[in-house]
Amino acid sequence: MASRITLLLPLFGLLSGLEGQLPSLQECCEVGRNVAERDRDCSVLPPFTSHVCSIAQEHCCRFVVRDRACKNGVRMARAQGACERPFFTGSQWETQISKICCDCCTLGVKAATEGLSCELPGLQLGKQCASAAKMCCEEPEEIKPTTAGPKDPEVFSTGSPEETNICSDASCAQLCVGNGKCGCYEGFTLQNDSLNCVDVDKCASGTHNCAATSVCINAAGSFLCQPKETCGTGFTRDAAGGCVDISECAADPGPCRLGQTCINAVSSFICDGTAATCPRGYRLSADGTRCQDVDECLIGEKCGSHICVNLEGTYRCDCRPGFTFSAVSKLCQDINECTHYPRRLCAHRCENTAGSFWCGCSLGFKLAHDRCSCDDVDECESKPCSQECTNVHGSYQCYCRRGYQLSDVGRRTCEDIDECATPNICSYICINAPGGFNCTCPPRGYMLAQDGWTCQDIDECAEGTHTCSPVENCFNVRGGFRCFSFECPPNFLRATSGPAGSASEVVRCVKSCHHRDASCGLNPTHIITSTVLSLPTLRDLKQPEEIVLLRTATKASPVPNEPDVLFDILATEKRNSFDVIKTSQNGTIVGVIRQVRPIVGPRELVLKVIMKYVHSGIVSQQNIVIIHVLISEFWF
């Protein structure tokens, strides 16, 4: 924005303000309580301009609703002894509070009937629940359950009442009875340390009720009755407890008569006298009376590299780890561990092999020492990036230092950013450099500011580097300085604050008439002010730019015939490029000179403005302002 010059001082302003009075927090809270009592709903509250007041109103309303919901729960517990949610009304959170207070009241009544402390030590119930429980404990009423509940745990305690209350530090393993002692659930008994509980073996103690056809199996705090099993005729139990067929034909002597062949069958045998043949897996004995088992493991390599185990009438293969025996093919078949145990063996990828498997990892990972897990590979160790590298899980990311950007090809190479391609990054000329850029300024009259890109004007007049003569005034302009020697016309005296040759923004000439000079006295012009204004080239001027303020001491008044000031531009080369408007500031009349059209520099113009002081339609006096406008060739 162009610089401003303020001329002709002074004026005064008066600022005043009014303070509003806000409601107190107690009043805001009372509004919330009244809404809760009247509407029983806090979703719609009266609006307040104060945010803090709205918070107080909402929380006070909810406190009343919450307290009412809790009292409804206590009332339901005492009246009906039922705390199911369908019995309560209101919103979801109201019914939840009612149920909590109902349940806690039930705890308090239970504590009172068992002679326990109403403080319910050792239980972290929360403030609202503890209050409801204590109230119902101190003023108990009988609660009749609507449905039969589970049996209360059986409590066993030891020690005398005078002993220390060990419940206070929550040391009991199972139950705290409430009288300062520990107890146990049914099926357990308290140990000698008065803290821990041990299971009672009901099978060993004979306190179970299993029938004679069942076997008692002890469990923690209980027992199970498992029916007894028999193998049946023709079977016997093996060492593992399973039922296997009895080979009656293997007995010596056999069960069949001479001339008959004993053929073993499942759970029985057959004496065949018609043909001296044996089924598969057997062969006829030397005396021809029975079929004897054939040991297939002695005939060839039935199981290959696995172990062959002979069985009655057949055989099986005990397979090496990673294989399983097929009863159909009589061979050891590979176990596909990857499909048999999906997503349980390998962290990423599972590949089946003969008798085993191996784990593989996704790109960016490597197999860990346990051969199952996958560890992240730090790709940055191989320096894949041209500048900086950051390792991430399963991958890596390249990034660049300031002034560079990643190439779109490969995303690993850093390319220099041409900052000079950004419009207006420098005030004057931008020179790109690797990883950065440099701004330069015109060779004369400017220097680079501390921000590194703005060209800052050098004030030669203030620094004393100008070449103005002693009779000239130095005026700083954009990119240099100008020397002017303003002479006052006849009958005017110079009234500037500084002597000739000094740096001054304004030269003011005030009318001074000889007492006999009548023509001088009739001249309405009282003050002639000369100054210099330096402006940039504003090529894209979209709206008027204020460049000069002409202040007066005349009060702005809408009443006719009151003193007034009129402003007008007398002469300039670019008259259509400027205008002057009248306005007011702080109650006094102000003239504003504006640039309304672009002017391309370098250019020098003289702008002459007249200020007429009018009272009752008559010009009482006038002042003239002469402005030497210097347009710079640059926009800064």
Under DSSP, the state recorded for 24 is P
Residue linked to tokens 């690993």: 412
Name the region of 4 (left: φ>0; alpha: ψ -120 to 50; beta: rest): beta
Query: For 547-569, what is each residue's pLDDT tens digit?
Result: 999 999 999 987 888 899 999 99
> Which comes out higher in pLDDT, residue 411 or 505?
411
Reported residue count of the chain is 636
Distances (CA, A) of 270 to 249, 254, 274: 9, 11, 12
What pLDDT score does 219 carry?
A: 67
Report residue 452's pLDDT band, with 50, 70 and 90 as the boundaries: very high
Mean pLDDT, range 220-239, rounded to an integer:
69
Domain 337-376 in this protein, CATH class: mainly beta
Map 66-118 to HEC letters: HHHHHHHHHHHHHHCCCCCHHHCCCCHHHHHHHHHHHHHHHHHHHHHHCCCCC
Name which of 259-263, 483-487, 583-587 the model is least confident about.
Answer: 259-263
Q: Do domains 337-376 and 379-416 have the same CATH topology?
A: yes
Cβ-contact 339, 371 below 8 angstroms: no
Q: So what's the pLDDT on residue 174?
A: 66
What are the residue ranges spanned by the domains of the chain? 25-146, 153-226, 337-376, 379-416, 464-631
Closest by Cα among 100, 48, 92 to 70:
100
Backbone phi and psi for residue 500, each to the nearest 5 degrees, phi listed first: -60, 140
Q: Is pLDDT of 629 > 80?
A: yes
CATH class of the domain comprising 379-416? mainly beta
Residue 293 has pLDDT above 60, yes or no: yes
pLDDT of residue 281: 86
Averaged over 597-603, what is the pLDDT? 92
Instruction: Count Cα neighbours of 60 within 13 Å in the Cβ-side half-sphere.
Output: 19
Q: Which amino acid is located at 40 in the chain?
A: R
Mean pLDDT (the chain, rounded): 82
Burial of 286 (0-12, 13-18, 19+ CB in 10 A): exposed
Amino acid at 581: I
Q: Which two tokens stand for residue 86?
A: 């369908």
Q: What is the mean pLDDT of residues 26-47?
A: 80
CATH 1.10.10.10 is held by the domain 464-631: no
Banded model confidence at residue 11, pLDDT cuts 50, 70, 90? very low
- Give the confidence band of 315 by pLDDT, cuts at 50, 70, 90: confident
Residue 295 CA to its chain's centroid (Å): 74
Q: Is the pLDDT of residue 261 over 90?
A: no
Q: Residue 289: helix, strand or coil by DSSP?
A: coil
Which has the minimum average pLDDT: 312-321, 369-378, 590-599? 312-321
Q: Which is more confidently placed, 152 or 610? A: 610
- Looking at residue 275, what is its pLDDT? 55
For the residues of 500-533, what is the DSSP string, one character each?
A: TTSB-SEEEEEE---TT-HHHHH--EEEEEEEEE
Contact 476/503 with Cβ under 8 angstroms? yes
pLDDT of residue 503: 46
H helix intervals, 559-618: none
CA angle 459, 465, 470 (to 5 degrees): 110
Q: Does position 270 have pLDDT exceeding 90, yes or no?
A: no
Q: What average pLDDT does range 320-325 have in this prediction?
A: 89
Is the model's pLDDT at 149 over the cut of 80?
no
Res. 445 pLDDT band, cuts 50 70 90: very high
Q: In the chain, pLDDT over 70 holds for what percent of residues?
A: 83
